[in-house]
C-alpha cells in the first residue's frame, strides 16, 4: 500500500490524477479519496485561483481553468505539515 509520504511526494512533484495514480499503482477513485483525507487532516490545502497561484512556480505557464468556469478542477498543494512529513521521511 502507498504510504502517506509517497503520496505527498507524488503530489509535491505535480501532475494529473491519472499520472499520479499510475505512478503509485492506485485506482483513481482511491487516490481521490486519499487526497480528500489528507486535505481534511491538514497535509494538503486546496488552491483557489488567484490566492494560491501566487506561490506556485508554475503560475506563469498554467492553463488550468478558473473556478466557476467550465472544466473547473481542484488543485492541491502541500501545507507546512505536509512538507514536514515529506522532509521527515527523507531523513
In this model, does residue 81 exceed pLDDT 90? yes
Domains of the chain in sequence order: 4-90 (1.10.10.10)
pLDDT at position 76 is 86
Q: Specify the higher pLDDT residue, 70 or 9.
A: 9
Confidence (pTM):
0.74
Residue 28: band (very low, low, confident or very high) from pLDDT cuts 50, 70, 90:
very high
- pLDDT tens track for 36-71: 999 999 999 987 655 556 666 666 666 665 555 445
Can you tell me the distance from the alpha carbon of 11 to that of 21, in angstroms, rounded to the nearest whole number?
10
Q: If DSSP codes are grouped into helix, strand and coil, which group holds residue 17?
A: helix
SS3 47: strand
The predicted pLDDT at position 17 comes to 87
Amino acid at each position: 500500500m502507498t504510504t502517506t509520504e509517497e503520496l505527498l511526494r507524488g503530489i509535491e512533484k505535480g501532475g494529473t490524477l491519472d499520472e499520479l495514480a499510475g505512478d503509485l499503482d492506485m485506482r483513481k477513485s482511491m487516490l481521490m479519496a486519499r487526497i480528500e483525507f489528507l486535505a481534511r487532516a491538514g497535509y494538503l490545502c486546496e488552491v483557489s485561483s488567484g490566492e494560491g497561484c501566487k506561490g506556485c512556480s508554475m503560475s506563469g505557464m498554467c492553463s488550468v481553468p478558473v473556478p466557476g468556469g467550465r472544466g473547473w478542477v481542484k488543485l492541491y498543494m502541500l501545507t507546512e505539515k505536509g512538507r514536514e512529513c515529506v522532509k521527515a521521511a527523507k531523513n
